[in-house]
């Protein structure tokens, strides 16, 4: 091990058993304190590890300072033991960018920004010593790549990297792939056991869901459709406009005013007056309990199961909203928004008429609809004739044939 140097500027004091602090020859003063190289060598049972921690000069530094710094870094890497695992890490003040043409063995295409002068120097150094630059190999979200943010929060960059020698990187990749294969095999065995258990207990829903996960056969397909003139539409935007036009056509009637007049001509029955008071917390809780499970959520993304975890709490939360709806006679606009989902039927799928549309409603709106339906059924059910068999509780059209 090399002898250590005391650095009073940054408080570094490393013994010879741990590593050494190197400061490239640079002008005295604050700029010298901004350039450091710390090395440490760890003796392990399998292989020894040499770690080089860097704090590089900024992009605005002169070429002489950068040359002196990278020459010192090159000298340290050259003197390191040949069989050691080399790890080069730290703040390099370098931007590499996504362009890895000619540098495929040592970096990927997932860097951030445009390559800077410090980025060229780091790439040349890693190429000379066959070091793979981490942070550029695998895809990540941009927000997860940034390692530096300006004090005002407006500028973010990726300037910190961890590099490891290429042979060790390949060995680690093989180990990760082997572990992933073992994990996948264990997952498949567990899913097979769950499918067998579901089949033995005649739980068909769980059985089909597990078989779907095992087969991995489902692939979302985007079928092109035709417009009203028969022209095939393949662009996503034009297809969305066509589907919007189709759903508007089938959901709106041209003579709505005549239907309104027909309903106005009906004389209300005073004996079946529906209560007009706002529902209490107890009724809201009962409505939440009656919601069906395993149903897709609407635009809010809140399934019925989430409301049923703490039904009393959710009922107390929704109660002020329902009081406002009853008082102002207005439903929140966000409650009335739904997500249209198309399901294929038989025939030519390029024809919009061969698709069935369903609307995924918000769960809060479903609670409101359940409350209104319960109030109407309570008063209207006793007045319905016996000839009406369908859409009635505990009755169906089959009962008419049996009678």
Q: Establish if 281 belongs to a structural domain.
A: yes
Q: Which pLDDT score, from 0 to 100, does residue 33 have? A: 42
Q: Which pLDDT score, from 0 to 100, does residue 7 have? A: 43
With bands split at pLDDT 50, 70 and 90, how would you rate the model's confidence at 17? very low
Statement: residue 286 has pLDDT above 90: yes
Statement: residue 85 has pLDDT above 70: yes
Q: Which pLDDT score, from 0 to 100, does residue 272 have? A: 57
Q: Which pLDDT score, from 0 to 100, does residue 375 have? A: 86
Q: Which pLDDT score, from 0 to 100, does residue 258 have? A: 53
Statement: residue 98 has pLDDT above 60: yes
Range of the domain at 380: 272-402
Q: Which pLDDT score, from 0 to 100, does residue 22 have? A: 58
Statement: residue 395 has pLDDT above 90: no
**CA 28 to chain CA centroid, nearest Å:** 50
Are residues 194 and 296 part of one domain? no
Q: Establish if 141 belongs to a structural domain.
A: yes
* Residue pLDDT, tens place only, 219-271: 566 788 899 888 998 888 899 999 999 988 887 755 555 555 554 555 555 55
State the average pLDDT over residues 106-131.
93
Q: Establish if 6 belongs to a structural domain.
A: no
The domain boundary, picked from 142, 172, 202, lies at 172
State the average pLDDT over residues 344-363.
90
Q: Which pLDDT score, from 0 to 100, does residue 4 have? A: 39
Are residues 94 and 205 part of one domain? no
Which of 5-9, 120-124, 241-245, 392-396 has the least mean pLDDT? 5-9
With bands split at pLDDT 50, 70 and 90, how would you rate the model's confidence at 106? very high
Q: Which pLDDT score, from 0 to 100, does residue 296 have? A: 86
Q: Helices marked H in 265-362 — which ranges?
A: 281-289, 304-307, 311-328
With bands split at pLDDT 50, 70 and 90, how would you rate the model's confidence at 329? confident
Closest listed residue to residue 42, CA positions, set 98, 80, 4: 80
Are residues 59 and 204 part of one domain? no
Q: In whole angstroms, give the CA distance from residue 259 to residue 255.
A: 7
Are residues 287 and 318 part of one domain? yes
Are residues 134 and 189 part of one domain? no
Q: What percent of the chain has pLDDT over 90?
A: 46
Q: In whole angstroms, give the CA distance from residue 104 to residue 136.
A: 11
The domain boundary, picked from 172, 205, 240, lies at 172
Q: In whole angstroms, give the CA distance from residue 300 to residue 336.
A: 11
Q: In whole angstroms, give the CA distance from residue 89 to residue 159.
A: 11
How many domains does the chain contain in total?
3
Q: Establish if 94 belongs to a structural domain.
A: yes
Q: In whole angstroms, give the CA distance from residue 290 to residue 308.
A: 9
* Residue pLDDT, tens place only, 136-158: 999 998 889 999 999 988 889 99
Q: Establish if 8 belongs to a structural domain.
A: no
Q: Which pLDDT score, from 0 to 100, does residue 271 have? A: 58
The residue whose two tokens read 């087969």 is 215
Q: In whole angstroms, give the CA distance from residue 214 to residue 184.
A: 11
CA atoms within 13 A on the CB side of 355: 20
Are residues 183 and 60 part of one domain? no
Which of 3-7, 115-119, 129-133, 166-170 has the least mean pLDDT? 3-7
Q: Which pLDDT score, from 0 to 100, does residue 47 have? A: 86
Are residues 304 and 166 part of one domain? no
Are residues 376 and 331 part of one domain? yes
State the average pLDDT over residues 316-342.
91
Q: Establish if 53 belongs to a structural domain.
A: yes
Are residues 280 and 210 part of one domain? no
Q: Establish if 181 belongs to a structural domain.
A: yes
Q: Which pLDDT score, from 0 to 100, does residue 24 have? A: 58
Q: Establish if 278 belongs to a structural domain.
A: yes
Statement: residue 10 has pLDDT above 90: no
Q: Which pLDDT score, from 0 to 100, does residue 281 have? A: 93
State the average pLDDT over residues 371-389.
82
Q: In whole angstroms, give the CA distance from residue 308 to residue 319.
A: 15
Q: Which pLDDT score, from 0 to 100, does residue 374 have? A: 87
The domain boundary, picked from 116, 146, 172, lies at 172
* Residue pLDDT, tens place only, 211-220: 888 876 555 6
Are residues 193 and 133 part of one domain? no
Domain CATH code at residue 32: 3.60.10.10
Statement: residue 313 has pLDDT above 90: yes
Are residues 112 and 52 part of one domain? yes
Are residues 185 and 168 part of one domain? no
Cβ contacts of residue 3 below 8 Å, gap of 6+?
16, 20
Q: What is the mean pLDDT of the chain?
A: 83
């Amino acid at each position: 091990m090399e002898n250590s140097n005391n650095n009073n500027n940054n408080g570094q004091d490393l013994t010879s058993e741990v590593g050494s602090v190197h400061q490239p020859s640079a002008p005295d003063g604050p700029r010298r304190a901004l350039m450091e190289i710390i090395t440490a060598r760890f003796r392990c049972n399998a292989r020894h590890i040499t770690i080089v921690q860097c704090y590089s000069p900024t992009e605005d530094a002169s070429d002489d300072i950068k040359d002196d710094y990278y020459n010192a870094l090159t000298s340290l890497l050259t003197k390191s033991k040949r069989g050691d695992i080399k790890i080069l890490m730290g703040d390099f003040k370098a931007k590499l960018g996504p362009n890895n043409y000619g540098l495929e063995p040592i970096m990927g295409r997932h860097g951030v920004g445009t390559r800077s002068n410090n980025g060229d120097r780091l790439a040349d150094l890693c190429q000379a010593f066959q070091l793979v630059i981490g942070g550029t190999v695998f895809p990540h979200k941009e927000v997860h790549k940034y390692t530096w943010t300006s004090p005002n929060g407006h500028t973010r960059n990726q300037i910190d990297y961890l590099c490891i020698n290429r042979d060790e990187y390949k060995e680690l990749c093989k180990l990760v792939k082997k572990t992933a294969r073992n994990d996948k095999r264990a997952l498949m065995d567990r899913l097979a056991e769950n499918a067998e258990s579901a089949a033995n207990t005649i739980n068909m829903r769980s059985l089909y869901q597990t078989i779907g996960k095992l087969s991995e056969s489902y692939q979302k397909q985007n079928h092109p459709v035709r417009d009203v003139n028969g022209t095939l539409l393949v662009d996503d935007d034009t297809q969305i406009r066509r589907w919007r036009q189709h759903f508007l056509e089938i959901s709106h009637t041209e003579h709505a005013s005549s239907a309104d007049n027909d309903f106005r001509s009906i004389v209300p029955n005073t004996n079946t007056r529906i209560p007009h008071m706002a529902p209490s917390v107890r009724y809201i809780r009962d409505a939440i309990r009656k919601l069906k499970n395993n149903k897709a959520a609407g635009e809010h993304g809140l399934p019925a199961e989430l409301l049923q975890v703490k039904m009393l709490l959710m009922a107390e939360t929704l109660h002020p909203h329902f009081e406002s709806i009853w008082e102002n006679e207005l439903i929140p606009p966000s409650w009335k928004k739904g997500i249209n989902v198309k399901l294929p039927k038989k025939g030519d799928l390029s024809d919009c008429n061969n698709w069935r549309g369903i609307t995924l409603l918000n769960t809060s709106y479903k609670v409101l609809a359940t409350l209104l339906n319960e109030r109407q059924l309570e008063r209207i059910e006793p007045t319905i004739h016996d000839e009406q068999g369908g859409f009635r509780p505990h009755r169906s059209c089959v009962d008419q044939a049996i009678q």
